[in-house]
Structure 1
Amino acid sequence: MLTEYLFVFAQVHDEFRIPELLSVAEIHGFEIKFSENPEDRKTVARPFMVLQLESEEHARLLAQRCVLIRYACEFYARGKTYEEMHQQNRIRAPQWAKYASDTSFKFLVTAFNHTIPQRRQTEVVESFDYMDWQGKIDMKHAEVTLFCLEEYRDKHGTTRPRDEGDGDFEEVWFGRLITDGTARPLIHKFDVKKRVYYGNTSMEAEMSLLMATQALAAPGKLVYDPFAGTGSMAYTSAYFGAYFYGSDIDGRQMRGKTNQPGIIRAAAQYGVANRIMDLSTFDVTQNPWRCGELFDAIITDPPYGVRAGAKRLGRKNPRPPQEGPPPTFVQRPDDQPYIPPMRPYELSELARDLVLLARYMLRSRGRLVFFLPTITEDYKEVDVQGMLCEGMELVANSLQDYGSWGRRLITIRKTTTERYPPPTFDPAHAVTDNVAAHIPAHKDFREKYFQGFKKSQQEGTTSQQ
């Protein structure tokens, strides 16, 4: 029999909540049933969600892994008014009555987007007198915490007294607190500012944690990042128990300036250096892999040209063919290594190649997780659907919105057990062959981004004049 549980979320990244919940459920092998209430389905941005789970242990597992969860509660009642909520709570008496006889308890009365005065908090607690709780009140070490939370409209950006509109809430929720979201403090643990090695393109902690969960990082899993950079994906994936392998076309990003590679030093800071299998320098389009189906997940943040552009081996302008005999080999006078020429790697070409690489390198049911920047007004669903190829399906597409542009966390799963040959990384795939006539919004993203910035700047200058 399924039981309803109330989850309270941090009011950030609302599009990432459901994919994160489903990923954690898949890691631990249980199912989640979502609310059938049409109002709840329309308002996914609200910080409350009622889920049906088989056991309280499943609720704890979600709270232990999901960084977006603040609280997990056994759900008792909700209502537009306290009368409606109390009526529903009386119906649910069999759920809470078993605690009422001799269990120490306390009430936690709080609000979202509001501060409840102490006087009214007392009134709210007294309104639950019909529960006839006989146990000891213990404000520090209570066995049961009864959680009452009022939801108010967002009033940010206005100047007002703290208790203005008190009691004018949208809805009130009530339940038994099971646990705090114990994964959320990991955001501070992996804070880039506290890291011994990072760069100007290092992924922020919260997003790297979300990506590791989307990749189903867990003990025994093998994770690969083909654009490792300073290793933001390595630390969170390894922290959750996975083994990590990284590569980058520029080994200096992974090494840093000391004898010990920077990624290894930062991994040691988090106690996961033993889970970094190796770091290699090579162009992903000229990779050394001689067999596929090695990894359980590929997780990466490809460079898209705003702070650092993607590169691949080759010349921007190929040399014309030379006439006559080939030049004779001449020994270089110094011992400096040869640095091969590189050319830009256009984003839509990179994204398509990444999906093909994942189909070759992932085991069946393995996941590819990566960020894809898009221009907001140009984006269409076909932009992502067009990247898919046979044997690969879209699992999640969550937007981190920056206004005129945003970046989408794309999660793709390999659905086939068929073996595919290694991709050729042919530039002809820059525009997907699934939708031949469509140019995706992420194509030439770098040029579009800076053109838009210059246009806005020019308009601002004109208005000032």
Structure 2
Amino acid sequence: MTQRYLFVFAQVHEEFRIPELLSIAELNGIEITFPCPLGELDLARPFMVLGLENDEAARLLARRCILIKSICEFYARGRTYAEVHEENRKNASKWEQYIENTTFKFDVSAYNHSIPQRRQRDIVESFSYMALLGKIEMKDPQVTFVCLEEYIDKHGTTRHKHEGDGKCREIFFGRLIEEGSARSLVKKFDVKKRSYYGNTSMEAEISLLMANQTLASPGKLIYDPFIGTGSMAYTTAHFGAWVFGSDIDGRQMRGKDPPYGVRAGAKRLGRKKPLSVPASRPVQPRPDDQPYVPPTKPYELSALATDLVVLARYMLKPGGRLVFFLPTVTEEYEEVDIHTMLCEGMEVVANSLQNFGSWGRRLITIKKTTTSRFPAPVFEPQGGSEENNAENGHVPAHKDFRTKYFQGFKKDVT
């Protein structure tokens, strides 16, 4: 039987919240019931009441999801405490078992507000009808009852910290099941704590969210073709997966840092111009002991993305996932942009935006949905995306992204 739980989310990366939740639910075989279609969820609010089978499912989610601060068994909600108490009395069967000989405490807090100590005491006393007979234990109680007030965001305004106290948007009440312990991993994998990191190393929180999208876990094999300084290797390996990777330039993995990313653009092996000397000419030994760095040439982003999907279809097992970030121009982006890179047997399951204003980067998760075998891909010299886009008459917003980035995303004036 489905029970209702109050999810309290960290108020960051809101668009990543549901994809991460669904991924970890899939990993653990957990079914989640949502109060409305996913597209209608209000992601601007940190509170969400969802359905789960039991407390253990809540614990598994709270211990793995980076964006979960806590999960509580849901008792009541309302715009006033009168409404909360009325609903809480109706749900007495959920908390009556804690009346006798159960140590407890109340946690009272607010989102976008600071509640005065005096009113916190008044709030706790307003629940006296629960007639709890156990001992109050503030350090290690058997049960923690949680009361949360939600206020409208007033950041950017000058006001007293207690101004508007009591005029909240909504109040939630329940029993704490689990604190979100996975959030501590953000500090553990902080790139500043590493002995080496590059100017394009992925920040810890994003790396962890990306690792959760891959469903990293013991027994999984994960390949990172752009491993760089190993940000993804750290986080996916932490969750028990076997990780291996490659990079077009081994200098990053050896502690030297070419400026890849937007600044240098995507690269592929090959020469921009043909050799000026016959290929049969004997190779002269290098006068130093520096490693050989193979020649590279630009790799247009839309072509790279399409080739990556085709390669993933060949390498992934059925149900396996391809997870990558795609930079896009905000004003030009359309949903069809992502679908232009797909091929038979590959399906988008998540598309989350990290918004930087005029541009953003989208965490794309694509799942292999076919059991058919496909031959090893043979990539054209300029990549496969150009021809495909020309055929369907659509040019995705991520095409020529680097050029647009350095032009400040200005539109051509004719």
Whether these two folds match at TM > 0.5 is yes
Aligned pairs for 1:137-286 within 5 A: 137-256=136-255
Q: Which moved more, 1:248-257 or 1:173-182?
A: 248-257
Deviations 1:41-76 (A, max 9, x none): 341221011111111000000000001011110000
Name the aligned partner's letter for residue 117 of structure 1.
P
Give 2:106's aligned residue: 107
Change beyond 3 A, Cα 1:96–1:18? same
Query: Which whole-Å CA distance do the structure 1 matches of 2:360 and 2:216 have between them?
Result: 25
Query: Which whole-Å CA distance do the structure 1 matches of 2:164 and 2:286 have between them?
Result: 79
Give 1:313's aligned residue: 269
1:429 and 2:384 equivalent?
A: yes
Deviation at 1:121, TM superposition (A): 0.7
1:334 and 2:333 equivalent?
A: no
Deviation at 1:309, TM superposition (A): 2.2
- The count of aligned residue pairs is 407
Give 1:24's aligned residue: 24
| Aligned structure 1 segments of 4 or more residues deviating by more than 6 angstroms | none
1:365 and 2:305 equivalent?
A: no
Name the aligned partner's letter for residue 211 of structure 1.
M
Name the aligned partner's letter for residue 22 of structure 2.
L
> 2:304, 2:383 within 8 Å by CA — same for their partners in 1?
no
> 2:200, 2:261 within 8 Å by CA — same for their partners in 1?
no
Deviation at 1:224, TM superposition (A): 0.4
Q: 1:442 aligns with which of 373, 398, 409?
A: 398
Query: Which whole-Å CA distance do the structure 1 matches of 2:43 and 2:283 have between them?
Result: 66
Deviation at 1:255, TM superposition (A): 1.9
Q: SS of 1:433's equivalent?
A: helix
Deviations 1:2-21 (A, max 9, x none): 11111101100111111111
Give 2:68's aligned residue: 69
What is the RMSD computed on CA atoms of the aligned residues? 2.1
Structure 1 gaps, min length 5:
263-302, 457-465
1:411 and 2:365 equivalent?
A: yes
Structure 2 gaps, min length 5:
none
Give 1:389's aligned residue: 343
| TM-score with structure 2 setting the length | 0.94
| TM-score with structure 1 setting the length | 0.84
Query: Which whole-Å CA distance do the structure 2 matches of 1:37 and 1:130 have between them?
Result: 37
Give 2:94's aligned residue: 95
Deviations 1:119-156 (A, max 9, x none): 11111111111111111111112111100000000000
Name the aligned partner's letter for residue 379 of structure 1.
Y
Deviation at 1:306, TM superposition (A): 2.0
Deviations 1:341-377 (A, max 9, x none): 2101111111111101100111110000000000000
Change beyond 3 A, Cα 1:333–1:116? closer
> 2:65, 2:180 within 8 Å by CA — same for their partners in 1?
yes
Query: Which whole-Å CA distance do the structure 2 matches of 1:81 and 1:394 have between them?
Result: 42
Name the aligned partner's letter for residue 20 of structure 1.
E
Give 1:59's aligned residue: 58
Deviation at 1:106, TM superposition (A): 0.7
Deviation at 1:332, TM superposition (A): 3.7
Q: Which moved more, 1:24-33 or 1:59-68?
A: 24-33
Name the aligned partner's letter for residue 172 of structure 1.
I
Query: Which whole-Å CA distance do the structure 1 matches of 2:87 and 2:234 have between them?
Result: 45
> 2:103, 2:142 within 8 Å by CA — same for their partners in 1?
yes
Name the aligned partner's letter for residue 390 of structure 1.
E
Q: SS of 1:7's equivalent?
A: strand
